[in-house]
Structure 1
Amino acid sequence: MFSLAGADLVRFLFAVAALLAAAHVLGYIAERLAIPRVIGEVSAGLLLGPTVLGMWFPNAFHALFLGFSSEGSLFGFLSQLGLMLLMFHSGLKFQARFEASDLRIGAAIIAASTVLPFLAGWLLTMVWDPAPFLGPANQLTALKIVIAISIAVTSIPVISKIFADLGILHSRFAKVIVAVAVVHDILLWVALAVASSLVSSHGQVDAGVLLKSLGVTFGFLAACTVALPWMLRRVTSRRVNVLFRASFLGYFLLILLLISDIAGYLKVDVMYGALLAGVATKLTLPERLRERVEASTRDLSFSLFIPLYFAVVGLQLDLAHQFSVGFFLLYVLFATATQTLVVYGTCRAIRCDRLTSLNLAAAMNARGGPGIVLSTVAYSLGIINQNFFAILVMLALVTSWMAGSWLRWVIRRGERLMPGDEHLVIQRATPEPTDWVPGLETGQR
């Protein structure tokens, strides 16, 4: 009943191994080429999926990934588990407090880069008919919300990884952007949760349905950021809390599963619940223990589940047959220009200099992981079709590449990212594993 036939298990494990190996190798190559790792991981799915392998060797593709009836479902489960861990990890980075000197900049960017690009995306749907990109749910209002979010969304994991690769994660600029991105994306996830609720309503969208969706979504947000941390602080360290005493990490993973499940039952969205579970954990624990949870989940998640998630995203893309290059280029131009103009104009209005304003605008354009999550959730809910799913994924990848390239160019020129970073000392990431292998030390590779 709960078993998998021996031949099917062997086939599935081989497919997982092939996909994981490709994700890590291409992710490593991408980093060596100064490209965000996520681009390499998605490229692994493109290489082994219908875009390349499926087009040239369709029998090999089907034998590898569709060899038995439940293989697709197994990959779907691994992918969703990776996505949950990614959202939980992103929630752990939640930062509601700014330094006093950065509060004005952060608040202005959050307000402008959330509201104005979202409105621009919504207005776009009034002059352009998005109906050809409707998914099987046939929910036009939800599709418009997804389009609006795609214009405004910013990547927390990718922009943090870019900063770490550049050695500037400790800079004032990086701290402002990461804090802004976390608050910014939580607000946009509220909008996606509303879209999810509209799909689950299965009926005509009216003011009552919309208000109910907003009420449930904001109520769940308040419960997870206020009531849940208050409760956890009082029960977590009690001697009678056998679960916490039995397993420190297992306890918080249980919270992740329960909050995600409650979000699903409320018809908000499971991944929104995973994000808020991370936020609640961050607000519950002192910094030392929060770092312990983050480190414990990061090692396994970013080695196995999260690379598989991004690779499976690539597996679902068929760029050879279901991708409109012309429309994609126009969409990238509109999304990038909108976010750039809004953030640059806002920063100039609060008296930031031109270069600082450009740097902040470039960083806020990196859509990366959250952009891919948006497309994945919208596609799984039936809000968008395969063609628009591919466009949103490629938008996330291209804008992340652009943001990283701009910031790298500024640093190489010796320019400061923003006031306060004039004498910034570059602090590179920790040495790679090969640096500790005899015979592979620096200069001998």
Structure 2
Amino acid sequence: MFSLQSIDVAHFLFAMGCLLALAHLLGFLAERILIPRVIGEITAGLVLGPTLLGYFFPDVFQWMFLGFHAEDQLFGLLYQFGLLMLMFSSGLKFQTKFNKADVKITSALVVGATIPAFIVGWFATDLLNVTSYMGSANSPLAIKIVIAISIAVTSIPVISKIFSDLGIMRTRFAKIVLACAGIHDIILWVALGYATAIASQEGIITFSLGLKTVLINLSFIGGILLTAYFLFNRFTFLKNNFLFRASHLGYFLFTMFMLAAFAGYLHVETIFGALLAGIMIKLSIPTDEVDKIEYIVSKVGFAWFIPLYFAIVGLQLDLIQHFNPFYFLGFLLFACFVQTLSVYITSRLIKQDPLTSLNLAIAINDRGGPGIVLASIAYSTGIVNQEFFAILVMVALMTSFLPGVWFRIVLNKKWRLMPGDENLVTEKNKEQLNNKSTNNDR
């Protein structure tokens, strides 16, 4: 019980080590040419997966990743852990402190970036001819919801990484974008929960099923937020909370795993539990403690679990035999146009200037990690087939590329991100100025 043969363990460690090393290497190279690291990590899976290695050397691919009976299940387990860590890390980045003006802007953007894009995506499925892209669940309604979400979804992990790399993480602009993305995605995960519930019921649609699914999701969110506000802080710092005293990180990871498990038992996606665990900790624990946990989680997660998750996503893609580049290009342009226009118009309606509106539109158009998570869940639950899974992943990757390029141009041109960020000195420039002043003092 709970054992593998020694040769199988060695085989799995070899395959995992190669995949992890290539994910880090290509992620590093991606950052060196100023594109998001996640693109390099997924490319590692493309190189070692069916797209390249499996196409040119199928026997080597079969031996490496399907070499013994349980190897695919072990990679599947790592995939799930990486997904949980990604969502937990995203929750820890949730923004909590705003003034009234920022609340107004954020609220307007959440509404403007979600509802119009979702509605357009919903009705566009009739024009996009998605019948051939349905998965084994064979549910037209579920795939409608997934496509609508794919148009409206926004990425916290990738856009926050871009902001961090550019040294603008503490700007007013970054705070509003990340808050909008966080609230935005919670709403869309509820919709995804409804889609997966439909898929699990073999496409059978009833009013009671819809009402039950929505109520469970909303009750789960409300229960977590109430716990965060009234109980979690007090319980965490109780003198007799020996688990917290034994290991702060262990305690918070335990919290994440329990909420993810609870979500699963309620037939809510487990990743939703991990996301809300991070948000609960962010809302209820002192900032200095959250910063420590976020730092440690990012070190552990982004060293092992999360790069492997993205690399395994790449392993599941077959861009040679299961990818339609022309349909992808059309879907990409359509998704970008709808989301960009929705955000830009909303921003102009709340009297933001054209450049600020464009900056917000480009930032919120980044689908990144959540777009890939959406594709993964939709594929694993049979809502979409492998071809549309590849299209959704590639759309997420391409929309992650544009913000990094655009905001480097904005900073190099010394343009304003938004009102309140005038005469911006990035964190990196501050460090350089501090180093120069220190050298001059010497």
Q: Could you tell me the TM-score, scaled by structure 2's length?
A: 0.94
Please list the CA deviations of residues 246-304 of structure 1 after superposition, one character each: whole Å capped at 9, or x if unmatched.
22111111111111111111111111111111111212211111112211211111000
Q: Quote the residue 1:160 is aligned against.
A: 160
- Higher mean alpha-carbon deviation, 129-138 vs 209-218, is at 129-138
1:32 alignment partner in structure 2: 32
Per-residue CA deviations over 1:32-65 (Å, capped at 9, x if unaligned) read 1010000000000001111011111111111111
Match of 1:436 in 2: none
Asked if residue 319 in structure 1 is aligned to residue 330 in structure 2, the reply is no
Q: Which moved more, 1:279-288 or 1:318-327?
A: 279-288
Say if 2:138 and 2:203, in contact at 8 Å, map to a contact too: no
Report what 2:435 is aligned to: none
**Partner in structure 1 of residue 220 of structure 2:** 220
Question: What is the match of residue 170 of structure 2?
Answer: 170
Instruction: Give the corresponding residue for 2:122.
Output: 122
- Asked whether the 8 Å contact 1:98–1:179 carries over to 2, the reply is no
Deviation of 1:96 after TM superposition, in Å, equals 4.1
Q: d(CA) in 1 for partners of 2:143 and 2:134? A: 7
- The corresponding residue for 2:428 is 428
CA–CA distance in structure 1, aligned partners of residues 200 and 263 of structure 2: 13
Aligned mates of 1:206, 1:19 — CA distance in 2: 44
The worse-fitting range, judged by mean Cα deviation, of 329-338 and 138-147 is 138-147
Instruction: Please name the residue that 2:87 is paired with.
Output: 87
Check whether the contact 2:50–2:61 (CA below 8 A) recurs between aligned residues: yes
Tell me the equivalent position of 1:280. 280
Deviation at 1:430, TM superposition (A): 11
Distance 1:238 1:429 in 2: 42
Structure 1 range deviating more: 350-359 or 134-143: 134-143
Between stretches 50-59 and 222-231, larger displacement belongs to 222-231
CA–CA distance in structure 2, aligned partners of residues 233 and 415 of structure 1: 41
Following the alignment from structure 1 to structure 2, what is the Cα–Cα distance between the partners of residues 286 and 61?
48
State the AA in 2 paired with 1:337: F
387-396 or 182-191, which moves further after superposition? 182-191
- Contact 2:96–2:283 at 8 Å: present in 1 too? no
148-157 or 162-171: which moved more?
A: 162-171
In structure 1, what is the equivalent of residue 205 of structure 2? 205
Match of 2:369 in 1: 369
Pairing 1:387–2:387 present: yes
Shift of 1:202: 4.0
Distance 1:383 1:127, change over 3 A: same
Superposition RMSD in Å: 1.6
> What corresponds to 1:441 in structure 2?
none
SS at match of 2:427: coil
Number of matched residues? 431
> Counterparts in 2 of 1:165-314, with a 5 A limit?
165-202=165-202, 204-314=204-314
Gaps in structure 1 of 5+ consecutive residues: 432-445
Q: 1:248 to 1:307 in 2, by over 3 A?
A: same
Q: Secondary structure at the match of 1:267?
A: coil
1:229 and 1:281 in contact (8 A); partners too: no
* 245-254 vs 388-397, which moves further: 245-254
Instruction: Please name the residue that 1:2 is paired with.
Output: 2
Cα pair 1:113 1:343 within 8 Å, conserved: yes
Give the direction of change, closer, same or farther, for the CA distance of 1:429–1:238 in structure 2 (3 Å limit).
farther
Report the alpha carbon displacement of residue 229 of structure 1 after superposing the two structures with TM: 4.5
Residues 324 and 343 of structure 1, relative CA distance in 2, 3 Å threshold: same
- Whole-Å separation in 1 of the counterparts to 2:171 and 2:399: 22
Q: Distance in 1 between matches of 2:111 and 2:175?
A: 17
- Indicate conservation of the 8 Å contact 1:193/1:272, yes or no: no
Q: Distance in 2 between matches of 1:189 and 1:326?
A: 29
| Cα distance between partner residues in 2 of 1:239 and 1:429 | 43
1:292 alignment partner AA: K
Distance in 1, matches of 2:430 and 2:42, equals 25
* Aligned 8 A contact 2:142 2:195 in 1: yes
Map of 1:360 onto structure 2 = 360
Aligned partner letter, 1:39: I
1:179 offset after TM fit, Å? Answer: 1.5
The alignment's TM-score, normalised by the length of structure 1, stands at 0.94
Q: Is the 8 A contact 1:95 1:183 kept in 2?
A: no
Q: For 1:395-434, list aligned pairs within 5 A.
A: 395-428=395-428
1:50 matched residue in structure 2: 50
Q: Distance in 2 between matches of 1:319 and 1:275?
A: 30
Identity of aligned residues (%): 52
Q: Deviations over 1:292-328 (max 9, x none)?
A: 2211211111000000000000000000000011100
Aligned to 1:73: 73
